[in-house]
Copies of this chain bind each other. A is one copy, B any other.
């Protein structure tokens, strides 16, 4: 049986009726079968592409991307996913176009979506704002579709908000699944999601939150470790706790990187800002309090600097299972002695894991394409089989 046939048979068994014409905000909105469907379709699309099969589902149509924060890898992943399916990416650059917050979001949303199949939004900077912006945008499109303004209601793919970073975390775990040779092998594996020191401040919390909200669904033993004062959103910890309880895994917190790393199978050391500080920053930005923002930055940098020992050093790695835990990062990492004097990870550690790290990233375009595919294609199983059976090649000659 071919790999593609095997994957379509898996897909056939999953209950995924709710995915068609739906959005992807947070992984915890989705059932286990829906997540499994994303993994399966991502693998299937990759298999088709590797065998030079055309995966164009669309003859024309747009994918709109909105980046309210800089991005290289997520932007190219989204553009690649759109291209793979036959959509043309169009960037809505809010800095150069007539758009603003609030009521005008509703208008802009409709104005750019007349021929859009998918909207990809990254808005991760301000706690309490990113998800809200995505929701406002999509509510406007829902309304526009109902009112007969739009011929179709596009699908949202959350390219990172203040709460979750689902395309990243889904790519992360698909990498882990392949690494361990199947999702069933994740049960009982120990994951350390830990804070790490970085000379920059204010990095989003969506990665650690996304990781604990997702990895706890696979029966893993997940530890979230950070210095005091670097708490993440309590609602997401609650989700992690419930997930763990439901799947026979565990979720616990500690304030020691050593403790988290001890005997870990997988480590994900990464800097982020304290939740409370990010809330404070949002308020300061809304008030336009420049002096307050500068003072906060200084305070946060000083606070970070008291935790320089939170680094993924060679010594720290020795604490992990056989000294050989799988090292994960969403990239780019702050590498000690390379991109900064002292950072999240030792240069030698990073170097040793470079190949798996880049492979981890390589899943993202396929994860995004799978999310779009499942939301836009009515019969995913039949469509994958049709693409497989077709003579149409991606590279035609």
Are the C-beta atoms of A83 and B144 separated by less than 8 Å? no
Are the C-beta atoms of B72 and A108 separated by less than 8 Å? yes
Are the C-beta atoms of A70 and B90 separated by less than 8 Å? no
- Our pick among B79, B332, B376, B396 for the contact of A107 (Cβ within 8 Å) is B332
Collect the chain B residues with CB atoms within 8 Å of residue A57's CB.
395-397
Interface size class of A (residues with CB under 8 A): 35 or more
Asked whether A323 is an interface residue with its Cβ less than 8 Å from the other chain, the reply is no
Choose the segment among A6-14, A91-99, A293-301 that binds chain B (4+ C-beta atoms closer than 8 Å): A91-99
8 A-B pairs with C-beta separation under 8 A: A59-B394, A72-B108, A75-B97, A100-B339, A110-B361, A111-B331, A147-B358, A149-B355
- Give the CA-CA distance A92 to B338 in the complex, in Å: 23
Instruction: Give 1 or 0 for each of A55-67: 1 = CB within 8 Å of chain B CB.
Output: 1111111100000
Collect the chain B residues with CB atoms within 8 Å of residue A117's CB.
395
Q: Which residue of B lies closest to A95 (CB)?
A: B96
Are the C-beta atoms of A115 and B395 separated by less than 8 Å? no
Asked whether A2 is an interface residue with its Cβ less than 8 Å from the other chain, the reply is no
Collect the chain B residues with CB atoms within 8 Å of residue A107's CB.
331-332, 358
Asked whether A84 is an interface residue with its Cβ less than 8 Å from the other chain, the reply is yes
- Give the CA-CA distance A103 to B96 in the complex, in Å: 27
- Our pick among B90, B332, B392 for the contact of A76 (Cβ within 8 Å) is B90
* Distance between A369 CB and nearest chain B CB, rounded to angstroms: 10
- Give the CA-CA distance A56 to B58 in the complex, in Å: 11
Asked whether A182 is an interface residue with its Cβ less than 8 Å from the other chain, the reply is no
Contacts A58-B395, A84-B115, A103-B339 given; 14 further ones with Cβ under 8 A? Answer: A54-B60, A59-B394, A71-B98, A72-B108, A73-B111, A80-B115, A89-B90, A103-B335, A103-B338, A107-B358, A114-B365, A149-B358, A377-B397, A386-B397
Task: Give the 8 A-B residue pairs with the shortest CB-CB distance, closest first.
Answer: A72-B97, A383-B397, A80-B115, A73-B111, A149-B358, A54-B59, A76-B112, A147-B355
Residues of A within 8 A of B (CB): 46, 49-50, 54-62, 70-73, 75-77, 79-80, 83-84, 86, 88-90, 92, 96-100, 103-104, 107-108, 110-112, 114-115, 117, 144, 147-151, 331-332, 335, 338-339, 355, 358-359, 361-362, 365, 376-379, 382-383, 386, 392-397
Are the C-beta atoms of B50 and A55 separated by less than 8 Å? no
- Our pick among B55, B80, B92 for the contact of A72 (Cβ within 8 Å) is B92
- Our pick among B97, B115, B359 for the contact of A83 (Cβ within 8 Å) is B115
